[in-house]
Structure 1
Amino acid sequence: MPQPFDVLETLWELLISLKTYSIILATFKRLFITIGISTLLGLSLGLISGMHYQLEAFLKPIVVSLRTLPVISIIVIVLILYGNVFSLYIITFLLLFPIIYQAELDGVKHIDPLLISVLKLECNRCSPRGIRMVYLPLSLPFLRTGIIQSAGLGIKILVVAEYISQAKVSIGREIYLGRINLEYNLVFAWSIILIIVVLLVEHLVEKYLITTYKN
């Protein structure tokens, strides 16, 4: 075990290095691209599934399978099928999509049935106006919670995938190099940075979504 002072010294060296921030930004880029795609598909399919039970029944086995499969199994299978280039995005998407999809689906199902009845009288409930004025605003709190959960979970899954695949310019690779070179102070320093990054991501996503929701 490294001494706390050695870990803090290594942490300081990392924080004053520009390379550290380029590594963090590379991991952030992968994370936000994946969250964006997961949110787009999860929102769309969750919204439609909430209005049409046939699609919900069709997607349920797929979503349940993705939520119950071990993370390591998904990572290994995707790495075998797609290699190291696109696997990071696919792995993170497969694990985040069910969370966002289920959050949006729950949001639609919790809408007051009386509002749905009124919407049917005024216009078709599946019309763009009905979706914009009723379904999206009322399901947003559930979707917001799902995205916040996905942000914290996504960075953890992504770093694990980076570690296993040894993706270039990534936090996971830096932790891997620290382990194989027996530089455990480097492993602990990057772990501290990762904790800070996770807290920062969750804070920014929550703050942004709360501001958007209130506006």
Structure 2
Amino acid sequence: MAALTRFARRWRTAAIGLLLPVGFLVAVEIAVRAGLIEARFLPAPSELLQTLAELAGGGELARHIGASVVRVLAGFAIGSALALALGALVGLNRRAEALLDPTLQGLRAIPSLAWVPLLLLWLGIDELPKITLIAIGAFFPVYLGVTSGIRDVDRKLVEVGAMAGLGRLAQVRRIFLPASLPAVMTGLRGGLGLAWMFLVAAELIASTRGLGYLLSDGRETSRVDVVLAAIVLLALLGKLGDSVLQAIEHRALAWRDTHDRRAD
């Protein structure tokens, strides 16, 4: 019975979340068909569906989506792995923090497009510069999540662990890791979101496939429907990835005794 109640609650939450986008799409469809909005500026959602069907029919859409997903996953994996390692080092070691953190914070302020010419000069025009740029985008939110999570661990917990005779590695495993995990998961979700944002800049680097290329191609051919279709797909894929990480977060942090808004 409890499982059924949780299932019904999740479906109700999902349905509420769909109200705004579905209502917006219906309003746009009505406005375009009534002539209140020119279709050349904002096509009707039904036209976008037709465009997606045309792209999917020849397999072109699957190739674009596949290329983008592979790049995002590869860049996110590399960037988040480096961020977890460096974030833990900086968070646990004051000397490492003094040495590395100022430089990393300076690099964090560099806009994504500023990396493009440098990566082209260094790495050429193949897949490596694209994945590297996405990894850069994913790195910093994860790094900030790890360092802030470790720094915010309650000092009393560390003192209790020391009094109990826990060594440094045991403290990391039994105190720092569980206590910082909420911030780390938030950082991972932010990193994945930024990876999708950096994807568009990455696919401007001499790409012939990907949703970023589809955006650029739609702009050059003055096809607003193609541009909007690519934007919608980016939003859907980004939301799908975030939902997967959110589900992992809920499972990994099920031990927390926190207020659950879904129970209101």
TM-score (normalizing by structure 2): 0.73
Distance 2:148 2:238 in 1: 26
TM-score (normalizing by structure 1): 0.89
> Out of 132, 141, 151, which is 1:99 matched to?
141
Q: Comparing both structures, which one devotes a greater share of its residues to helix?
A: 1
Mind listing any 5+ residue stretches in structure 1 that lack a counterpart? none
2:152: which partner in 1? 110
Stretch moving more, 102-111 or 28-37? 28-37
> Out of 60, 71, 83, which is 1:42 matched to?
83
Structure 1 residues 51-130: aligned runs within 5 Å: 51-85=92-126, 86-121=128-163, 122-125=165-168, 127=169, 129-130=170-171
Tell me the alpha carbon deviations over residues 5-41 of structure 1, each in whole angstroms, 9 at most, x when there is no partner: 5333212323555431232122111111222222222
Aligned-pair distance for 1:208? 2.2
Aligned-pair distance for 1:105? 0.7
Q: 1:120 to 1:48 in 2, by over 3 A?
A: farther
Distance 2:147 2:74 in 1: 22
> Out of 232, 235, 256, which is 1:192 matched to?
232
Preserved contact between residue 166 and residue 172 of structure 1 (Cα < 8 Å) = no
Distance 1:210 1:17 in 2: 39
Determine what percentage of the aligned residue pairs are the same residue.
24
1:213: which partner in 2? 253
Q: Which has the higher contact order (CA 8 A, sep 6+)?
A: 1
Distance 2:155 2:242 in 1: 33
Mind listing any 5+ residue stretches in structure 2 that lack a counterpart? 1-39, 256-264
CA RMSD of aligned residues (A): 1.9
Structure 1: which 4+ aligned runs deviate by more than 6 Å? Answer: none
Tell me the alpha carbon deviations over residues 58-95 of structure 1, each in whole angstroms, 9 at most, x when there is no partner: 11122112221122112222222212221111112222
Preserved contact between residue 66 and residue 94 of structure 1 (Cα < 8 Å) = no
Preserved contact between residue 75 and residue 133 of structure 2 (Cα < 8 Å) = no
Stretch moving more, 114-123 or 134-143? 114-123
Distance 1:108 1:54 in 2: 15
